[in-house]
Amino acid sequence: METGSVTTPFGRRSMTLGMLASQVMAGEIKPDRSVDKWKLFRALCEAKPLLGIGDRALAVLNALLSFYPKNELAQGNGLIVFPSNIQLSLRTHGMAEQTVRRHLAALVEAGLLVRKDSPNGKRYVRRDRAGEVDEAFGFSLAPLLARAEEIEQLAAEVMAERLHVQRLRERITLCRRDIAKLIEAAVEEEIPGDWQDLYREFRDLIESLPRSPTTAQLELLLDELTGLRTDILNRLESRVKSAKQRGNADYIERHIQNSNPESKSELEPSFETKQGAIAEPDNDRGAVTAEKGRGKATHPFHQMEEEQSRRPGGRNDGGGLKSFPLGLVLQACPEILAYGPDGAIRNWRDLMAAAVIVRSMLGVSPSAYEEAANVMGPENAATVMACILERGGHINSAGGYLRGLTRRSEKGEFAIGPMLMALLRANAPAGRKVG
């Protein structure tokens, strides 16, 4: 049985006040106190960020608990386990003994274990004539029993924080959807206002969020998006009330005509091909067909495309195709990043260099790629190669697919926009999209 006395570590290991505090706490356990060891271990796994321990330290603790013969941790059952480092290595699936020792020290430092070292530092048990444990030297699990309520409370806090973050992300996603669609509705209804500036403000807010945001950053973003959505709603509601007061039948008629309940747009409208053709997706591996003879839609996305076309990397290239912003291309086609110089793509030159590497890797002939660049423009050809790489598992012959798109581009029957939008939607959960 345990003596309950304070022990100091063997060898060069020094005694600390933290070790003393753990031993004092273990000595204050009520005699009838018990807890299910595996239930407590699950709580430890939840609370690990607040306890300062990692996955591998938990693996070592799991191995130690497996040497405890009972499911219930209790004083009456004894709380000392004494496996050798070799045995612990086997039960941690071959973890190196040096690594086992390091994580044992981390568990002691975190106040989850107490060392009870023998005179020679070895771990062993002394039994009486009846075979019962008289005294054992090894690691005491008493701190786990003493801190069981604290550990369960910490686990509850971690789970509550995780649920809070999940709800924040859900609300942010709803705000994003509302803002995008309200702006789209305002432009389609031809309601006067600085909708393009509002959309840019909206995108700036979304893009300012880090890849792994803190809870405070998510809360701040939600507040800002909620304020922006309220502003947009107030403008639209004011317009609706004004129209009702005037009894403007023309406004109501235009509203009925412009409504499109079958629109599939989430954040972007259909993108144009040349001469006012509207590109729509079909089922041919993400290719597009053109519906000509329709007028140009007025939309903040189109306005920004036109403005982008006057900037480098955002112009109309060969074949009448429009180059899209580099950031949009990389968001839709993240796999191309690995082929850029030093594993990054910073400008259009880097993207075109990466496209040449991908062309060779996918077996696209130099002549096919050169023809695509002549017809579509170099930026668009590189963008198409990035899209082909992203959808490589669905395309049997990358070279034949590229030649087919080149021929359609010559006829004005191909637009890159819908292809990029489809990839954006497909990659949304793994990208920077919140929620």
Structure tokens at 235: 């403008």
Sign, CA dihedral 86-92-95-99, equals negative
Neighbours of 200 (CB within 10 A): 13
Q: Please give the pLDDT value at position 306.
A: 40
Higher pLDDT, 210 or 247: 210
- Nearest 5°: the CA angle 178, 182, 185 is 145
Q: CA–CA separation, 88 vs 84, rounded Å?
A: 6
Q: Is the pLDDT of residue 205 over 70?
A: yes
Task: With cut-offs at 50, 70 and 90, classify the pLDDT of residue 270.
Answer: very low
Nearest to residue 23, comparing CAs of 76, 96, 94, 80? 80
**pTM greater than 0.85:** no
Task: With cut-offs at 50, 70 and 90, classify the pLDDT of residue 362.
Answer: confident
Backbone angle region of 94, left / alpha / beta, with phi > 0 → left and psi within -120 to 50 → alpha: left
